Structure 1
Amino acid sequence: MYFLVWRDIKVRYKQTVLGAAWAIIQPFFTMLVFSLFFGKLGKIPSDGIPYPIFAYAALVPWSFFANGLTNGSNTLVTNSNLVKKIYFPRLAMPLATLLAGTVDFTLAFAVLLGMMAYFHIIPTANVVWLPCFLLLAFVTSLGVSLWLATMNVQFRDVRYTVPFLTQFWLFATPIAYPSSLIPEAWRMYYGLNPMAGVVEGFRWALLGTEILPLHMILVSSSVSLLILLSGLVYFRRMEKTFADVV
């Protein structure tokens, strides 16, 4: 696991001009676009928080989830030679991909702390819950990656589905807008999207938004755990055929 993680980190930044800066550039420039079109032109509310940091605080865990999903779904096919030559628990591959993504998360999170200092936002005691929401994002990304990585071994058109799925999921998650725009009676059902609970929980823990969407987070956590457990069962069931099919 250690060597797979270290290899993924080195390969990710090898022969790149900007290197690790890409971990910051992607969410930062997305935040600028959202701030212009949704914040300034669209006048989307941001729960009393300056819109740039409102959006960026959501994009940090989202980027961790989306990059883990994209890379994790392709990990078995990308490492097909390794899969066919050596036996080891195949689960190590998607796990290593997601763990390597924590480097990107750390860099983007450092920028978020800098933005909080610029806007004079001081974290409250709720920040102790932040690792729990990061873990929820990790579990969700791993669970979906297990499903997609397994299907990708047999159906290579899955790799074309992942970018569309990620883009759709982005706008189905309260990143550019707050979940308070959703009627209160429907917010619990909105939690069926696991990343909705992650994003709103992340903002609550770090930025001190007034209301903790507890029911949404509980639903999101349950769905995330269900996706992970079913993904593990499916992955383990098909694991013995990976070397023959890939």
Structure 2
Amino acid sequence: MPPAAANRFEVVIEPRRGFSLVDLAELHAYRDLFRFLVWRQVKVRYAQSAIGIGWAVIQPVFSVLLFTVVFGKLAQIESDGVPYALFSFAALVPWTYFSNALTEGVGSLVSEANMLRKVYFPRIMMPLSAVVAKLVDFVIAMGCLGIVMLAHRHLPPWEIVFMPLLTLLMVAAAAAVSIWLTALAVQYRDVKHALSFVVQLGMYASPVVYPASLIPERFQLLYALNPMVGVIEGFRACLLGTQPMPWGFFLVGSAVTALLLVTGLAFFRKRETVFADVA
């Protein structure tokens, strides 16, 4: 056998047998591609930018200033006994991550239509890489929040040990909704156009500028179906100690997120065979 032929190898792509939500072995085989996609998401956001990584600071900081003036000073909205700047900042950090991850994730497959048609790779990597890449902005925003807390001489309570759990729910919620909407956005471009309105509406349907305690008790369970309610109220409990950990909100939000994630993966798996044709 010629030496050149001995070094050649072939990859045969065959139809899947049976049904599974995620092919973990395939994802592991393409792990280097996933790392590259995440790095590219981060690099493209800040490449040829005068402010660079400062954009991760500007968005939450300016939002906090605006909310403090409009809702804290003018509307006099209750802030659970802490300065309104801290109250809104603790909510804006997870909400900003969620909204940005959702926006980037939903448009990931549509923006890479040429790549979908030319090469095979697990399509689920595109929305997931956008969700993971936005954690860089999240970490930077958390650092800014820490500085503001120090300026107000406000130390977090012991409940801060639950932060990893809340962060996991936040990422899972962003991934679940992104997977669902990404699969729809490939075929129905209306999804991407309507997303900015949906995200804006979602902010006011979450306790970002007001405490969840303002919601009447008879509607609390319905309100908790929004996974970000448990995340945001949990962040405030962990960082500011405004209330006990909202385990009820957290458990309901976790159940909804798990349902969205399982059904989203199933729907994505069903639709991905036609992505290259309709993208």
Counterpart of 2:63?
30
> SS of the residue aligned with 1:121?
coil
Aligned residue number for residue 154 of structure 2: 121
Partners of 1:224 and 1:50 lie apart in 2 by 31
Of 73-82 and 208-217, the range deviating more from structure 2: 208-217
**Structure 2 residue 142 is matched with structure 1 residue 109:** yes
Contact 1:175-1:199 at 8 Å conserved across structures: yes
Q: Is 1:135 matched up with 2:168?
A: yes
2:234 is equivalent to residue 195 of structure 1: no
CA drift at 1:186: 2.4
Q: Quick one: which of 179, 185, 208 aligns to 2:212? A: 179
Paired position in structure 2 for 1:98: 131
Q: Aligned pair 1:240/2:262, yes or no?
A: no
Aligned identity (percent) is 47
Give the whole-Å Cα distance in 2 for the aligned partners of 1:222 and 1:166: 21
Q: Aligned match of 2:260 in 224, 227, 235?
A: 227
Identify the residue that residue 192 of structure 2 maps to in structure 1: 159
Cross-structure match for 1:52 = 85
Unaligned runs of 5+ in 2: 1-33
Q: In the TM superposition, what is the alpha-carbon distance from 1:188 to its structure 2 partner?
A: 2.4
Cα distance in 2, alignment partners of residues 188 and 133 from structure 1:
19
Question: Higher helix fraction: Structure 1 or Structure 2?
Answer: 1
**Structure 2 CA distance for aligned equivalents of residues 174 and 202 of structure 1:** 11
> SS where residue 89 of structure 2 aligns?
helix
Q: List per-residue Cα deviations over 1:74-128 (Å, max 9, x = no partner).
A: 0001111111111111111111111110110011110000011011111122111
Which segment drifts farther, 219-228 or 103-112? 219-228
2:47 paired with 1:14? yes
Distance 1:104 1:240 in 2: 33
8 Å CA contact 2:230, 2:249 repeated in 1? yes
Q: Give 1:210 deviation, angstroms.
A: 2.4
Q: Once the 2 structures are TM-superposed, how far is the Cα of residue 183 of structure 1 from its aligned partner? A: 2.0
Q: Quick one: distance in 1 between partners of 2:128 and 2:179?
A: 9
Which residue of structure 1 aligns with residue 101 of structure 2?
A: 68
Rg larger for: 2
TM-score scaled to structure 2, two decimals? 0.86
The superposition leaves residues 165-188 of structure 1 with CA deviations (integer Å, 9 ceiling, x where unpaired) of 000000110010001111233222
In structure 2, how many angstroms separate the alpha carbons of the residues matched to 1:48 and 1:214? 21
Q: Is the 8 A contact 1:116 1:122 kept in 2?
A: yes
The 3-state SS of whatever aligns with 1:90 is coil
Distance 1:185 1:213 in 2: 16
Query: Could you tell me which amino acid in structure 2 is paired with residue 75 of structure 1?
Result: S
Residues 189 and 216 in structure 1, CA contact (< 8 A), matched pair in contact too: no
Number of residue equivalences: 246
Residue 230 of structure 1: how far off its partner (Å): 0.9
- Residue identity in the other structure for 2:207: P
1:154 is paired with a residue whose SS is coil
TM superposition shift of 1:159: 1.1
1:204 matched residue in structure 2: 237
Give the Cα separation in 2 of the matches to 1:221 and 1:199.
13
Paired with 2:243 and 2:196, the residues of 1 have a C-alpha distance of 34
The TM-score with structure 1 as length reference comes to 0.98
RMSD (CA atoms):
0.9
Report the AA paired with residue 195 of structure 2.
V
Residues 64 and 89, structure 2, Cα contact 8 Å, conserved in 1: yes
Q: Is the 8 A contact 2:234 2:246 kept in 1?
A: yes
1:211 to partner: Cα distance:
2.6
Distance 1:165 1:233 in 2: 23
* 2:248 is the alignment partner of 1:215: yes
Please name the residue that 1:80 is paired with: 113
